[in-house]
Each structure stands twice: as C-alpha cells, then as structure tokens.
Amino acid sequence: MTTPIDLSAHGITAPISIRNAPPAFLYEEAVTRERAGIVASGAIAIRSGAKTGRSPKDKHVVRDPASEKDVWWGPVNHPIDNHTFLLNRQRAVDYLNTRDRIYVCDGFAGWDPSSRVKVRVICARAYHALYMRNMLIRPTAAELERFGQPDYVIYNAGQFPANVLTEQIASKTSIDLSLERREQVILGSEYAGEMKKGVFTLMHWLLPERGILSMHCSANEGPQGDVSLFFGLSGTGKTTLSADPARRLIGDDEHGWGDDGVFNIENGCYAKIIVDRGDSNRVVGFHVLGPHAGEVTQGWACALRLGATYESFMDTVGIHPTMAEMFTKLDVTKRSGASAGGGAACST
C-alpha cells in the first residue's frame, strides 16, 4: 500500500505524490518506468546517467553571516549567495512539478534519539526513493503518523540540469546546501550518493553544536562493550576491518560520538565497485559491508585478480562460503601409489 502526501508547503503540486512506498512497489516502478534491469541475484541494476560518482567541484554552500564562520570554504565548499540558491531551488521545484508522480521518503538521520534529525527526500525517480529508504532510519508507523514538518528537505531534480548562465554556477551540475533553510537542491546529477552525503554534511554541522563529535569512520563493538573506530577514506579498509564476525557492527561510514557513546548516523549499507572504463569495464576495486563481509571479500578479491568486469559481476549469483576456509595442495596422487605421509584434508 502506498500513501499520498500533500507537498504544497514545499511548492510541489505534481498530480501524484507517494510517501514511504514499500520496497516491492519502488522496485516495480524502477523496472517498469525507469528501465532498471534485474540481475541474476534478483537485485535491480540501474544507470545514474553521466554521473557515476559524487561531484565535489559542483558542491555549493550558501554563505550566510549566521554560519559562514563554521564552514571550511575551499575547493569543495564553494560559496553561493541565497539568491542563487533560491533560483536553483525554484528550478528544481518547477521540474518536479512537470512529473506525473513524485516519490517522498521520510526518515531519520542519527540513531541517538536526542540528536536525530527528521529528513524528507522529494524526488522523481523510484530508485532514489528506494536508495534513501535503505540509508535513512525508517520510522515506525506511529512515528510516521506524527512525523510533522521535516528538519531537513532534499529536492532531488537530478535529471534536470542547472542553468550555466546563473551567476556563481559553473556547470550543468549543481549540488546546493542552505544551512539556514535546512535544504539541499540537486540538479544535473542522478547519482544517489549525493543525497547520502548531503545528509552527512548537515549532521557534520549540527552535531558539534550539540557537543557531539561527527566522524567519517566505521565502528564496531566488542563483547565487553568496547568500541573501535576505523578512520579512512574510501578504499582504505575501514569497512572491511569493521566487519569482524566476533564483534557487533555499529556502522561503516558516518557516526556521532556524544556523552552516551557512539551511534550510527545512517541506517543501511551498500556495496559498490570501481571500474576502469578504458579497460572493458574491468573491476579494479570494491567496497562491501554486511553479513559474512570477510568471506565475500575473499571471493571478490579472487574475481578481481582474474580480471572480472562489471558485466560479469552483474551476471553472477554469489554464494557465501561457511566452512571451507583452508585449501590443501596435493603433491602425491593416488595413482602414483606413493604414501602421502600425512592426513591433510579440506573441511567442508
């Protein structure tokens, strides 16, 4: 069952607005309306257009006297004025209003109830809503009923480009954040990770004011309640190291550390692979978090060594090994008649 929602407070007047749709509905919408493919494992595979990663050079933050001293301005956080932000916001709203249906995902950022933020995602692609349903902390039916007005709104019109004639906008991609309005606008990029990092950017600004350290790290907990933090950029191993079967996983990417301990900012996790387009889409790196991540890593690493491509990953159903952890090389065969001289074997 899908739930309609009135978005007129956000300027959205599209004929149909669907709120917090179940995964099966969004899955079907992505397949039938967005030409998503279904891979051998049953998951959907979908293209994000020209952008297959985040666009840090197109990230803008509104320079406002109330917050400018708290922003690290530079090659990533480019300043724009409020007028430019509102122009892009209106461009996004106008585009969303041309769609025959809009998807809304309401959820929370932050597992600590005292510091969590109510997030609303407004988008035109089912796959974007499905992605954020996984990444945000999902409210219960009762929490959703009393959700009220969100603390933070994302207007994702990524299918529609920014206007390069707009002052302070240098390309057709523009990822804009207003800390004062608690809003993010996405134009010219359909890469879903822009929404995830937009939420983290806001929390990176909000949490320190509340006496909480915001961290880009993974975290797990030992049997005695001891917590380990693993800091590092993508591909440096923090995800793999945190997925220790002997310890409870807290999260793999975004956390807060306050007086009551360490908590995850987001909900779900996802796997990603890095390909070399100039070499037949050969996979050159991967990132995975989940049950049996250590064992999955072994299989993926073997595939990389054998030159696996993006297409071969999409066409393969992986089965997690559970017992076969040791390989034994047999130098003496039965046919030779010689004694093996030992009792080597491989457990299964």
Q: Which of 69-78, 130-139, 237-246, 248-257 has the lowest mean pLDDT?
A: 237-246
What value does the mean pLDDT take over residues 85-95? 98
Given pLDDT bands bounded at 50, 70 and 90, which one contains residue 242?
confident
Q: Is 306 a domain residue?
A: no
Q: Is 335 a domain residue?
A: no
Instruction: Label the pairing between strands 117-123 and 152-157.
Output: parallel
The CATH number linked to 85 is: 3.40.449.10
Q: Is 269 a domain residue?
A: no
Residue 15 Cα distances to 62, 99, 125, 207, angstroms: 31, 8, 15, 37
Is there a single domain that holds both residue 39 and residue 92? Answer: yes
Last-in-domain residue among 181, 209, 237: 209
Residue 28 Cα distances to 45, 71, 98, 339, angstroms: 12, 41, 22, 60
Is there a single domain that holds both residue 203 and residue 224? Answer: no
Is there a single domain that holds both residue 202 and residue 233? Answer: no
Q: Is 321 a domain residue?
A: no
Q: Which helix (H) or strand (E) holds 298?
A: helix 293-305
Note the pLDDT tens digit of each residue in 298-319. 777 788 888 888 777 766 544 4
Last-in-domain residue among 221, 242, 264: 264
Q: What are phi and psi of 36, to 5 degrees?
A: -70, 145
Closest CA to 99 of 157, 24, 58, 26: 157
Q: Could you tell me which residue, 291 or 221, shows the higher pLDDT?
A: 221
Mean pLDDT of the chain: 86
Is there a single domain that holds both residue 76 and residue 149? Answer: yes
Q: Could you tell me which residue, 328 or 143, shows the higher pLDDT?
A: 143
Q: d(Cα 84, Cα 102) in Å, to the nearest integer?
A: 25
Q: Which helix (H) or strand (E) holds 256?
A: strand 254-258
Residue appearing with tokens 């956000």: 10
Q: How many domains does the chain have?
A: 2
Q: Please spell the DSSP secondary structure of 18-77, one letter per residue.
A: EES--HHHHHHHHHHHS--EE-TTS-EE---TT-SS--GGGEEEE--TTTGGGS--SSSS
Is there a single domain that holds both residue 54 and residue 183? Answer: yes
Is there a single domain that holds both residue 118 and residue 247? Answer: no
Q: Are 284 and 290 in contact (CB under 8 A)?
A: no
Q: d(Cα 324, Cα 347) in Å, to the nearest integer?
A: 6
Is there a single domain that holds both residue 104 and residue 233? Answer: no
Question: What is the residue type of 34?
Answer: E
CB atoms within 10 A of CB 256: 26
Q: d(Cα 171, Cα 183) in Å, to the nearest integer?
A: 20
Number of Cα atoms under 13 Å in the Cβ half of residue 84: 23
Q: What is the pTM of this model?
A: 0.80
Q: Which of 45-59, 93-107, 325-339 has the lowest mean pLDDT?
A: 325-339
Is there a single domain that holds both residue 163 and residue 190? Answer: yes
Of the chain, the percentage scoring pLDDT greater than 70 comes to 85
Q: Is 327 a domain residue?
A: no
Is there a single domain that holds both residue 9 and residue 47? Answer: yes
Is there a single domain that holds both residue 193 and residue 250? Answer: no
Q: What is the DSSP letter of 236?
A: S
Q: Is 336 a domain residue?
A: no
Q: d(Cα 238, Cα 240) in Å, to the nearest integer?
A: 6
Residue 255 Cα distances to 161, 264, 293, angstroms: 32, 5, 20
Is there a single domain that holds both residue 140 and residue 250? Answer: no
Closest CA to 106 of 90, 93, 119: 119
What value does the mean pLDDT take over residues 122-149? 95
Q: Is 229 a domain residue?
A: yes
Q: Could you tell me which residue, 239 or 10, shows the higher pLDDT?
A: 10
Q: Is 249 a domain residue?
A: yes
Q: Are 103 and 126 in contact (CB under 8 A)?
A: yes
- Domain span holding position 243: 213-264
Is there a single domain that holds both residue 38 and residue 97? Answer: yes
